[in-house]
Structure 1
């Protein structure tokens, strides 16, 4: 992507659009930033992948619908600043349009099909950077009934939607929807907490997508043959997968730990139990992939295969995986100290 000068230009405009949105002091400036961000991402989506044109068109239409809803509700707010009923309706519309832009349930319907047609680098941008502006704007104006509804639906759909998937892109999509539920939960209690959760989520998503992009993998069955000759690579991949699911010994558990602590302190036990149950379902399909890749394909005798360390990309992946697997011990020690 970065070898192409036009793509570098669009990437810089995309970043600028997000910064315009989150730093704007009026709703109209925010809308302008979102539009700049959208129009810069559309050219980036077009690549050699067969379905990229279809995905970019779907993304454009859905995001345009959300932008129109957003603009309409802003105008409604400006026309009737003192009318409580119209203000409530406008706030609900703003909130719904931002949920639609971020891909949160129950407005998630476009997200899996768009992700399926993109390259891995574009899916990473869509799963991480494209969520910053909508989530930041949601945190500015939290609507309690809608956010609770979105948390419950995101956790439920993110867990159940990934159960019968064979495509890794769709698996990452439903994982993203489930994590959005946790981010929204963190958001309505503590603004800093959802940002910390988001940073951990970006790191863990990058660690997996880096591997998928390096080996050009898109289906689960490709994973079994990929790690046929290297047990270490298999171990680190499974550690990253379970870390993204939030299994306790790994780094991915740390942000969930913070959210669990916050929910228990606020006595929101129903929401806490529900979200933990949904997280266990996501862990089930991650463990199923790990179990299959370990038990069904076994070839090599030696544990160490030094050929995998010869490329620079593999060294980067190993460093990232080591942090993902064992970073919880360091971070929890620092957390207790400071």
Structure 2
């Protein structure tokens, strides 16, 4: 990805907008921070793809509507009356986060983005609305169930890697919403998920693939094995990094006695594991023209990322001991 001074400026101002939102103590500054991050992110979405202008326009319209709803709910909030503003406020933040049933804009927007900008959209841009939602006392149990189910089920029939990552993000947003009252927990979750997505970005960029069925033609076996490990980690297989965050979420659910939620999480996690592994069956399970013995000639990138995935589990368990 080429970086120039304009892009650096937009990344910095976007980060400043997010920091302004999460550190403000009044709603007007919160709104200003959201608009600042929005207006800085839009130029970053432009690329050589023909569909990028359409994605940019859709993103701008959706975010403008949700910001208008946020401002309207703030105005109703300061009117001293018996008004039910919190539903509109919660809805506007859920639209900004892109969770079900407000998830369709995410899938249409990410198709026109570069992979790195898409990862920023699915991780960093969600921090501000999640922080605001954690301030509210509204129960989002139905939204959590719906988000996880839609993210798991609709990803089963996808061939586009970008859409698979999009549905994976929707599913993980459900996991984050379930622990939204514990600030340290959801911050840790989104940080680990961002690391996993960055690993996936590096691998896909190296393999130069956009669709699942193109993985058959990639002959870099070390990258295929690295992708296999990363997919297992995102699916939550022990002892990899992705398992540790789901394990912490499960512990919190047990502590809160949400046993139905735990059973549901395990079931839909298996469904997401299916479409993660489907990405690999197209490449590893087919005959490769490369000799299998070359698997052991791993490059530095493969070795480094594998070590991060395998060695972070003890660190996460140490974090858990401090939390209890």
TM-score normalized by the length of structure 2 = 0.94
Judged with a 3 Å threshold, the aligned counterparts in structure 2 of structure 1 residues 61 and 235 are, in CA distance, closer, same or farther, namely same
CA shift, 1:194, in A, is 1.0
CA shift, 1:260, in A, is 0.6
CA distance in 2, matches of 1:202, 1:275: 20
Find the partner of 1:241 among 231, 243, 252.
231
Aligned counterpart, 2:61: 61
Find the partner of 1:150 among 116, 139, 143.
143
Q: Does 1:12 align with 2:12?
A: yes
CA shift, 1:306, in A, is 8.0
Aligned counterpart, 1:140: 135
CA shift, 1:272, in A, is 1.0
CA distance in 2, matches of 1:335, 1:38: 35
CA distance in 2, matches of 1:50, 1:216: 19
Aligned counterpart, 1:51: 51
Q: Does 1:269 align with 2:259?
A: yes
Judged with a 3 Å threshold, the aligned counterparts in structure 2 of structure 1 residues 39 and 330 are, in CA distance, closer, same or farther, namely closer
Q: How does 1:152-231 map to 2 (within 5 A)?
A: 152-188=145-181, 190-226=182-218, 228=219, 230-231=220-221
Judged with a 3 Å threshold, the aligned counterparts in structure 2 of structure 1 residues 59 and 277 are, in CA distance, closer, same or farther, namely same
Listed one character per residue, the Cα deviations across residues 19-67 of structure 1 (whole Å, up to 9, x for unaligned) are 1111111111100100000000111100112211110000000000000
Listed one character per residue, the Cα deviations across residues 153-210 of structure 1 (whole Å, up to 9, x for unaligned) are 110011011001000000000000000000011113x221111111111111111012
- Structure 1: tracts of 5 or more residues without a match: 310-314
CA-based RMSD of the aligned residues comes to 1.9
Stretch deviating more after TM superposition (68-77 or 208-217): 208-217
Judged with a 3 Å threshold, the aligned counterparts in structure 2 of structure 1 residues 96 and 334 are, in CA distance, closer, same or farther, namely closer
Aligned pair count reads: 323
TM-score normalized by the length of structure 1 = 0.90
Judged with a 3 Å threshold, the aligned counterparts in structure 2 of structure 1 residues 303 and 4 are, in CA distance, closer, same or farther, namely same
CA shift, 1:245, in A, is 1.4
SS at match of 1:294: coil
Aligned counterpart, 1:312: none
Aligned counterpart, 1:319: 304
Aligned counterpart, 2:244: 254
